[in-house]
């Protein structure tokens, strides 16, 4: 037999797994050695049906490791490998679990340019898995969250593997005495400062997020990260656990808010709301302005004439045509209270008693009669009184202020309101005598007032 043949025979006869339980050796064939460190060897193994599994072999002389098979057996989450079985003898403890198809995240990230959206999706999925572990009756802290322990499946599914160091959190234990985990991803308390809890995994998740975004586990001020995610990283990686997110579900919520799409939706909402608010304010302002300034009266109800004579002639003919009256024909004659009362009763149809009645009580500050003053029939009429009567014929409410604030001429506020209205709308164009007025100007005042009120728009 040559040396070569001897070597081959040695290989075939060798039994490198002789230390392993016989049942394990009978059932599984070693296919690949995935890692070998500090007394923990991880193999890809194949069962008799040709199905792949992962076997972790812990050497008992190096590790005091509790059999956590019952713990693993109780887990049922699509993001966690299913526990298959375990074997043990005096040398080793072997746990066998489902083999998960896919690439570890470190390699996946190197082979694919991950968008911020994809990064947030992956981290949100990890949050889901951690929430499942942390929220159990006996919370399980993974304590080794790192890209190598996250598998991205061909369909994009996210799985968390490697429960070497995961263990049940036991409150009351002040510190962890043995360092587990991966230095770059481990929070300060994992070096033995304090007992680790769910916030340990949240710290590592923050480092993972930073690595995915910047390619480095260390903070680098020169590398600008997407700002909403940067805030999450900071909150995850606070030195003291109390400064971090208290629960992984809060991290997930923050991730969703930080997602570029959520941000875009939020920004769009803010812009839309702002635009709506501005629109509403503008519309409201316009409405308010129109409400405050609205007047039913149009500006050009009163016809434009170049001379007072033309205005008088036009007004007299207007009144004649409209009311069939000749009472204004003598345009130069001074108008009297009797003329005014005749206009109101005969042309405008007011009740005679109402127009002719006189309130004997003093002061005559009420609306019991059309004219509050006890004038004689032959008394002349002031222009302001004529205006008052003309406006009151159309809108009594406008001139109904009978408070005692008389002006210098002894007129009540209602008269001043009527005069102001008449000035604004050109009713007095052609009636230029402030004192006694002739019949022609009385016609002008009544004709113009008629026109202004007839041209008025109905309220919006």
Partner 1 sequence: MDKNEVKSKKISTSELWAKLFRSASVERYLAGSVDMQELPLFSEYNSMLAEERNEKAEAVIRRGEIESSFGHKLFSGTRNPSRDTVLQLAFGFELNADETQQLLKVARATALHPRVKRDAVIAYCLQYHRTFMETQQLLYDNHLPLIGGKNDRS
Sites of contact with partner 1 (CB under 8 A): 1, 4, 6-14, 16-17, 29-34, 36-37, 41, 43-44, 46, 50-52, 101, 106-107, 110
- Between 50 and 410, name the residue whose CB sits nearer to partner 1: 50
Report the distance separating Cα 26 and Cα 41, nearest Å. Answer: 18
Q: How far is the CB of 263 from partner 1 (least distance, A)?
A: 31
Q: How far is the CB of 1 from partner 1 (least distance, A)?
A: 6
Q: How far is the CB of 254 from partner 1 (least distance, A)?
A: 31
**What would the 3-class secondary structure string for the chain be?**
CCHHHHHHHHHHHCCCCCCCCHHHHHHCEEEEEEEEECCEEEEEEECCCCCEEEEEEEECCCCCCCCCHHHHHCCCCCCCCCEEEEEECCCEEEEEEECCCCEEHHHHHHHCCCCHHHHHHHHHHHHHHHHHHHCCCCCEECCCCCHHHEEECCCCCEEECCCCCCEECCCCCCCCCCCCCCHHHCCHHHHCCCCCCHHHHHHHHHHHHHHHHHCCCCCCCCCCCCHHHHHHHHHHCCCCHHHCCCCHHHHHHHHHHHCHHHHHHHHHHHHHHHHHHHHHHHHHHHHHHHHHHCCCCCCCCCCCCCCHHHHHHHHHHHHHHHHCCCCCCCCCCECEHHHHHHHHHHHCCCCHHHHHCCCCCCCCCCCCCCCCCCCCCCCECEHHHHHHHHHHHHCHHHHCCCCCCCCCCCCCHHHHHHHHHHHHCCCCCCCCCCCECEHHHHHHHHHHHHHHHHHCCCCC
For the four alpha carbons of 238, 194, 106 and 263, in that order, the dihedral sign comes to: negative
- Between 9 and 298, name the residue whose CB sits nearer to partner 1: 9
Q: How far is the CB of 45 from partner 1 (least distance, A)?
A: 10
Contact 433, 271 (CB under 8 A): no
Q: How far is the CB of 271 from partner 1 (least distance, A)?
A: 41
Q: How far is the CB of 41 from partner 1 (least distance, A)?
A: 8
Q: How far is the CB of 81 from partner 1 (least distance, A)?
A: 15
Q: How far is the CB of 101 from partner 1 (least distance, A)?
A: 7
- Between 94 and 198, name the residue whose CB sits nearer to partner 1: 94
Q: How far is the CB of 11 from partner 1 (least distance, A)?
A: 5
Phi and psi, residue 96, nearest 5°: -110, 130
Phi and psi, residue 450, nearest 5°: -55, -50
- Between 34 and 405, name the residue whose CB sits nearer to partner 1: 34
- Between 10 and 171, name the residue whose CB sits nearer to partner 1: 10
Residue 363, preceding bond cis, omega within 30 degrees? yes
Q: How far is the CB of 160 from partner 1 (least distance, A)?
A: 19
- Between 26 and 376, name the residue whose CB sits nearer to partner 1: 26
Which distant-in-sequence residues (6+ apart) come within 8 Å of 35 by Cβ?
A: 41, 42
- Between 100 and 431, name the residue whose CB sits nearer to partner 1: 100
- Between 41 and 449, name the residue whose CB sits nearer to partner 1: 41
- Between 8 and 271, name the residue whose CB sits nearer to partner 1: 8
- Between 29 and 269, name the residue whose CB sits nearer to partner 1: 29
Q: How far is the CB of 221 from partner 1 (least distance, A)?
A: 23
- Between 39 and 260, name the residue whose CB sits nearer to partner 1: 39
Which distant-in-sequence residues (6+ apart) come within 8 Å of 406 by Cβ?
A: 412
- Between 34 and 276, name the residue whose CB sits nearer to partner 1: 34
The neighbour count for residue 47, using CB atoms within 10 Å, is 13
Q: How far is the CB of 13 from partner 1 (least distance, A)?
A: 5
Contact 372, 359 (CB under 8 A): yes
């Amino acid at each position: 037999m040559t040396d070569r043949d001897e070597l081959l025979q040695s290989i075939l006869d060798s039994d490198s797994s002789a230390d392993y339980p016989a049942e394990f050796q009978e059932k599984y064939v070693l296919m690949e050695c995935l890692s070998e460190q500090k007394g923990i060897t991880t193999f890809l193994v194949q069962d008799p049906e040709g199905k792949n599994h992962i076997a972790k072999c812990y050497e008992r002389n190096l590790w005091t490791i509790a059999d956590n098979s019952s713990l693993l057996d109780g887990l049922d989450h699509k993001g966690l490998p299913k526990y298959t079985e375990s074997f043990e003898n005096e040398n080793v403890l072997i746990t066998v679990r489902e083999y998960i198809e896919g690439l570890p995240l470190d390699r996946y990230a190197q082979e694919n340019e991950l968008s911020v959206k994809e990064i947030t999706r992956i981290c949100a999925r990890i949050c889901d898995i951690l929430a499942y572990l942390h929220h159990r009756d006996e919370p399980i802290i993974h304590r080794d969250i790192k890209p190598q322990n996250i598998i991205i499946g061909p369909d994009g599914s996210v799985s968390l593997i490697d429960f070497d160091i995961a263990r049940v959190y036991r409150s009351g234990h002040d510190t962890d005495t043995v360092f587990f985990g991966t230095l770059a991803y481990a929070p300060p308390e994992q070096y033995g400062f304090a007992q680790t809890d769910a916030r340990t995994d949240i710290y590592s998740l923050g480092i993972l997020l930073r690595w995915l975004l910047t390619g480095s586990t260390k903070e680098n001020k020169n590398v600008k990260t997407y700002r909403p995610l940067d805030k999450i990283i900071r909150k995850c990686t606070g030195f003291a656990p109390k400064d971090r997110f208290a629960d992984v579900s809060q991290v997930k919520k923050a991730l969703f808010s930080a997602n570029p799409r959520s941000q875009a939706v939020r920004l769009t909402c803010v812009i839309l709301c702002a635009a709506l608010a501005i629109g509403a304010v503008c519309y409201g302002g316009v409405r308010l302005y129109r409400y405050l300034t609205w007047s039913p009266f149009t500006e050009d109800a009163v016809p434009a004439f170049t001379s007072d004579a033309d205005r008088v002639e036009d007004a007299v003919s207007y009144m004649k045509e409209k009311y069939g009256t000749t009472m204004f024909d003598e345009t130069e004659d001074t108008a009297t209270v009797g003329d005014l009362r005749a206009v109101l009763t005969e042309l405008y149809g007011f009740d005679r008693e109402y127009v002719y009645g006189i309130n004997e009580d003093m002061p005559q500050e009420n609306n019991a009669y059309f004219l509050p003053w006890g004038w004689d029939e032959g008394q002349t009429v002031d222009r302001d009184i004529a205006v008052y009567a003309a406006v009151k014929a159309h809108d009594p409410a406008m001139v109904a202020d009978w408070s005692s604030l008389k002006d210098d001429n002894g007129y009540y506020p209602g008269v001043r309101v009527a005069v102001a209205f008449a000035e604004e709308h050109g009713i007095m164009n052609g009636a230029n005598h402030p004192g006694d007025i002739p019949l022609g100007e009385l016609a002008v005042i009544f004709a113009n007032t008629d026109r202004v009120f007839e041209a008025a728009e109905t309220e919006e």
